[in-house]
Structure 1
Amino acid sequence: MRRLLDLIYAPLAALALALLIPPVCIAVIIGPTLTIRRETGRFCVRLMMACIGVPLRVRGIGNLPAGAAIVVCNHASYVDGIVLTAALPRRYSFVVQDGAAGWPLVGQCLTRMGVIYVNRRDARAGARTTRALMHKLGANEPLAIFAEGTFKPEPGLLPFKVGAFMMAARCDVPVVPAAIRGSRRLYGGGRRLPRWSRLEIEIGRPLHPIGKDRDAALVLRAEARDAVLQLSGEPERLDIADADRED
């Protein structure tokens, strides 16, 4: 019965998303201010999820600090970014890989929403982005980062890259662990069609750095990853090398 429902649901949900995404992107792009664009994006994501019958529940929003912080979240599917956008207050700026900037229409939408792109292939560009992000934190602006840097078809939380935690330690701002549950089934695993799933976003308690050096950042990373493991309910994966690089 579940497979039959998936077979019926998948093409209908995909069609609905294909019809909704272009006008949503245009609505965001033409917004006159960043505040309006972000609020439009948050509302439209919830509207899209409702149109495809996907419940979206957010818990722990009161754990978010009033000022600067870095939310680190698990990454399991193509929809994680937009789902987290709908969950977090509009003051949060998202950090994503620079390849997303070139996506037709969607890339322009992301840019207009104030997304910060990071180039992991170019050390100098990465350093400039890190300085810009630290400047935002110093100006009391919070960030949202998928600390795994990517996602795999198989379930499991990948190692966290250290860059977000180095910034948190150097700027002395808290890291807030968060987890998205249900998105892997909805649109993960490299699939072209969605499957129905509930979506839950849970935000944990802030974690504070104990110093400003790399050792403090590594401690903070370990604590944040343990917290995200518990919140996400996914197994641990340690099969990706080079996790300690600062990017």
Structure 2
Amino acid sequence: MSLLLNILALLRLIAVFGLMSIFITIYLLTTFFIPHSKDRALRLREMFLTYVGIPLLNIKIEKSGYPEITPALYVSNHRSFTDPVVICRYLKAFVIGKAEVAGYPIISKGAELTGVIWVDRDSKASRTDTRSKMIEVLKSGYNILVYPEGTVGTHRHTLPFRKGTFMEAAANNIPVVPIAIEYDSPKDLWIKEKFVPQYFYQFSKWRTNVKVRFGTPLFSDNGDELHQKAHDWINEQLTDMQENWANHFK
């Protein structure tokens, strides 16, 4: 059974990356006739995730709430590399991602087209530059999706949130929208160091079950208040979602 499930994971990987390559190639070819725009690229990403990526990976999503305001800073806890796959199925946003992912083939091109902002979380200069780019994007009318833990969390509740993005949101009158995401299986938590071993660890099973909840917008000119309210709301939702589910946290 283990061998069959690993074969299934391999076939999924080939299909997803193969079709992603086709989507990106077609998009780039059409830019000779229809100029590239972030709006168009974000629509393509949503279409790919909805009709290709999520069905092929057999990710079953239980969603509550909806992204109801734009532009806004959307903040989520971080469990897995599939978090943005799930969230961006519903949210058109520029994602702040870790710089290492910029070296992944195919993914990096799709990320470039859809405005992913790369950050080296160990570099203060990179974090400062990222916050500056984030405000530019928000002021131009687009959403930002950020993971304020700065890494993946594998415990019942979140790791401490970094405050920088909340301070910028408060200073620039930007609403903050919290998002909570939780998985049913411990195999969905990102515990492997590299992408490929983690992928096979996670997707060598038939189905991935995930819950995602969008909160209501938070407004304040106090960054500490935004930080605390978002942090508390997400942890409350995680506790609730783990009830009779996500048994690895019990």
Given the two structures, how large is their TM-score scaled by the length of structure 1?
0.79
Q: Percent identity?
A: 22
Change in CA separation of 1:100 and 1:30 when aligned onto 2, cut-off 3 Å? farther
Q: Is the counterpart of residue 53 in structure 1 residue 58 in structure 2?
A: yes
**Contiguous gaps of at least 5 residues in structure 2:** 193-197, 243-250
Distance in structure 1 (CA, Å) of the matches to 2:110 and 2:123: 24
| AA in 2 matched with 1:164 | T
Q: Is the 8 A contact 2:20 2:106 kept in 1?
A: no
Instruction: Give the equivalent residue in structure 1 for 2:80.
Output: 77
Distance in structure 2 (CA, Å) of the matches to 1:200 and 1:129: 29
Alignment of 1:57-206 (within 5 A): 57-61=62-66, 64-65=68-69, 67-88=70-91, 90=92, 92-182=93-183, 185=186, 187-188=188-189, 189-190=191-192, 191=198, 192-193=200-201, 194=203, 195=205, 196-206=207-217
Instruction: Give the equivalent residue in structure 2 for 1:221.
Output: 227
Change in CA separation of 1:227 and 1:23 when aligned onto 2, cut-off 3 Å? same
Per-residue CA deviation, residues 21-58 of structure 1 (Å, 9 max, x unaligned), is 23214413552333332222222223222123322243
Q: Is the 8 A contact 1:73 1:180 kept in 2?
A: yes
Instruction: Give the equivalent residue in structure 2 for 1:15.
Output: 11
Alpha-carbon offset, residue 9 of structure 1: 4.2
Instruction: Give the equivalent residue in structure 2 for 1:39.
Output: 43
Alpha-carbon offset, residue 19 of structure 1: 2.5
- Secondary structure of residue in 2 paired with 1:198: strand
RMSD: 2.5
Q: Is the 8 A contact 1:29 1:109 kept in 2?
A: no
**Contiguous gaps of at least 5 residues in structure 1:** 236-247
Change in CA separation of 1:220 and 1:22 when aligned onto 2, cut-off 3 Å? same
Change in CA separation of 1:121 and 1:150 when aligned onto 2, cut-off 3 Å? closer
Distance in structure 2 (CA, Å) of the matches to 1:176 and 1:75: 15
Distance in structure 2 (CA, Å) of the matches to 1:217 and 1:64: 21
Alpha-carbon offset, residue 176 of structure 1: 0.5
Alpha-carbon offset, residue 154 of structure 1: 4.4
Alpha-carbon offset, residue 98 of structure 1: 1.7
Distance in structure 2 (CA, Å) of the matches to 1:183 and 1:116: 29
Aligned pairs, number: 222
